[in-house]
Amino acid sequence: MNRLGMIVVIVSGLLSPLWAIAAQDQASAEPVYSDMYSIARGGRLYDNWFEEKGIERPKVAHPAYPPAGKFRGNNGTDWRCKECHGWDYLGVEGAYGKGKHLTGFRGIRDAYRTTPKKLASILSDRFHGYGPGTLNTTDVYDLAAFVARGTFPMDHYIDRETNRGMGSVRRGREYYQTACVGCHGIDGKGEATPPLGRLAKEDPWEVMHKILNGQPGAEMPALRAFSIQPAADIVTYLQQEMPHR
């Protein structure tokens, strides 16, 4: 190393405590919310916004929910975004294209260009009907982050024909037994939920969504900042190795 190099090394070494102090100062400032925070929170609002916000459920039926639909006026269920747009974000073109959740409505996958402003005008129109006391500006911001950047093609991870996860059981077992076991138990039959093996079999899209975004209003982590593959591996493991009842 030449002499200039030596000097640079020594001086920066002497200054490093100052950098540490500056970093500490920054850490005590206001929290910086990441995009992942918004996307995951938006995902939980999409799942169940009144549960996530801890506010009262809507008492009247959603104005646009089909009169003959199974969940009309059912404890606010018909106000959950997922009830019309689906856990696979495909609406009538996905898993909600048949069965008791059928509404015939489209998904949100085509709305990836949405912005908080556009979404605010969609949600407050007469059709969607989210008026005062439901979603505030921050909620709409997070929902827009989710709609624009949080959905993904579920069919890459779950086989549409068989409903089976296409991930790795071995990796899913490792993820589950480190990230989930503490709350849900080694057999997925903790007190808080129905057996996870059964949920993953009945609705793998729902379990994918909850692993990535967390459970509304509950102390459950969101794996959103990791890639999507671990969630698919966990679902595959739950389906293939966990008790279904």
- Asked if 78 is part of the footprint of ligand HEC (rule: CB under 6 A), the reply reads yes
CB of 234 to ligand HEC, least distance (A): 5
Positions 138 through 157 that interact with ligand HEC (CB under 6 A): 143, 147
Q: Is the dihedral of CA 75, 119, 100, 188 positive or negative?
A: negative
- Binding pattern for the stretch 201-220 against ligand HEC, x by CB under 6 A and - elsewhere: ------x--xx---x--xxx
Could you tell me where the beta strands, DSSP code E, fall in the chain? none
Q: 11 vs 6, 8, 19, 203, CA distance in Å?
A: 9, 5, 13, 60
183 is a contact residue toward ligand HEC (CB under 6 A):
yes
Q: Is 120 in the site for ligand HEC (CB under 6 A)?
A: no
Which listed residue (90, 120, 196, 242) binds ligand HEC by CB under 6 A? 196
Q: What are phi and psi of 159, to 5 degrees?
A: -70, 120
What is the 8-class DSSP label of residue 126?
A: T
Query: For 145-198, what is the HEC assignment?
Result: HHHHHCCCCHHHCECCCCCCECCCHHHHHHHHHHHHHHHHCCCCCCCCCCCHHH
Interacting positions 34-73 with ligand HEC (CB under 6 A): 46, 49, 62, 64-65
Q: Tell me, what DSSP letter sits at residue 125?
A: S
Residues that bind ligand HEC (CB under 6 A): 46, 49, 62, 64-65, 78-79, 81, 83-85, 105-106, 108, 110-111, 114, 119, 122-123, 128, 130, 143, 147, 179-180, 182-184, 192-194, 196, 199, 207, 210-211, 215, 218-221, 223, 234
